[in-house]
Amino acid sequence: MTTPLSPPSTTSTPGDVIRVVGASTNNLRDVSVDIPKHTLTVVTGVSGSGKSSLVLDTVAAEAQRLVNDSYPTFVRNRLPQLPAPEVQSMGGLTFTALIDQRRFTGNTRSIVATACDVAPLLRLVFSRIGEPSAGYSPAYSFHDPTGMCPRCEGLGTVVDIDIDELIDLDRTIDEGPVRFSQFRPGVYRWKRFAYCGLFDRSVPLRDYTAEQMHQFLYADQMTLPNPDPEFPRTAKFDGVVTRMRDVFVKNRPAKLSAQVKD
């Protein structure tokens, strides 16, 4: 139900309305209204008529200021500092929740339940009604490492590297076996496996042992037994796929050249 705003009434009690007297915030000019409680009130008008000035910058701002004043000084200093609205008086204010009109920008893990904060409550419910062997409430969350699928990390889909497309097994390290410009001969990512001391740079990858191939592709922060002097002294070795997953799959750089994207 929508109810039109009305001038302050002599019969309304403070518990029934939010009373604004003499509001002059921004483009308001001595506006006095009663906003009824316990009902849906829609404030409409042409652009520049003062809708936001009344609802957000006057009523909501003062309500939030009153809430903030109840906190200790240490907490108040860390909260947004809202200026006092220009108004003669206001009464009947209650706790206010502000929903921003900007578009919601969540990440890949955002769902309705996480956006409205009902997800932890649902997890708590299921953790209580589930079998004791199922674990604590985080075990029901696809955002928590204890509950998420280790393969897809709770996202439901897997984006990974196509080894056959990435690697040319008939090439040596010196010839550039990785079909990706960021690993071409001479660049610093190529130097990591060229100077790691684990591989013969003149042998095609097809002739590597299973252990060598696994190290070339999947080594993860491996301490090198005998690296080339050109390998960074304190660095550890990551395989090509490990490095690509960390840099290009998990993090998805925002700025990539057209060649790298292709």
pLDDT in tens, 111-139: 788 777 788 888 788 777 776 565 665 66
H or E element: which one contains 76? helix 73-76
| CB-based contacts of 65, cutoff 8 Å, min separation 6 | 82, 84
Which pLDDT belongs to residue 148? 79
Question: Which of 35-48 are b and which e, b meaning 16 or more Cβ less than 10 Å from the residue's Cβ?
Answer: bbeeeeeebeeeee
For range 230-242, the mean pLDDT = 91
Q: Which of residues 252 and 35 earns the better pLDDT score?
A: 35
| pLDDT at position 2 over 60 | no
| pLDDT at position 8 over 70 | no
From 57, 91, 125, give the residue that closes a domain: 91
150 and 169 fall within a common domain: no
> Residue 141 domain-assigned?
yes
Q: Which of residues 14 and 21 earns the better pLDDT score?
A: 21
- Ranking 63-72, 107-116, 230-239 by mean pLDDT, the lowest is 107-116
| pLDDT at position 214 over 80 | yes
Query: How many domains are there within the chain?
Result: 3
> Residue 6 domain-assigned?
no
151 and 171 fall within a common domain: no
The parent domain of residue 142 ranges over 104-157
Q: Supply 131's token pair.
A: 């079998």
187 and 235 fall within a common domain: yes
87: number of Cβ within 10 Å: 21
256 and 168 fall within a common domain: yes
Which pLDDT belongs to residue 20? 94
Q: Which of residues 68 and 138 earns the better pLDDT score?
A: 68
Tens of pLDDT, residue by residue over 217-229, are 999 999 999 999 9
> Residue 38 domain-assigned?
yes
| pLDDT at position 15 over 90 | no
From 62, 91, 120, give the residue that closes a domain: 91
By the 10 Å C-beta count (0-12 exposed, 13-18 middle, 19+ buried), 138 is classed as middle
> Residue 79 domain-assigned?
yes
Q: Supply 210's token pair.
A: 């299973």
- Ranking 5-19, 73-87, 178-192 by mean pLDDT, the lowest is 5-19
Which amino acid is residue 79, in one-letter code? L
46 and 123 fall within a common domain: no
129 and 194 fall within a common domain: no
Residue 262 pLDDT class (50, 70, 90 cuts): confident
> Residue 97 domain-assigned?
no
Cross-sheet strand order for the sheet of 31-36:
31-36, 17-23, 89-91
- Ranking 35-39, 102-106, 173-177 by mean pLDDT, the lowest is 102-106
170 and 254 fall within a common domain: yes
| pLDDT at position 75 over 60 | yes
For range 61-83, the mean pLDDT = 85
184 and 152 fall within a common domain: no
Residue 1 pLDDT class (50, 70, 90 cuts): very low
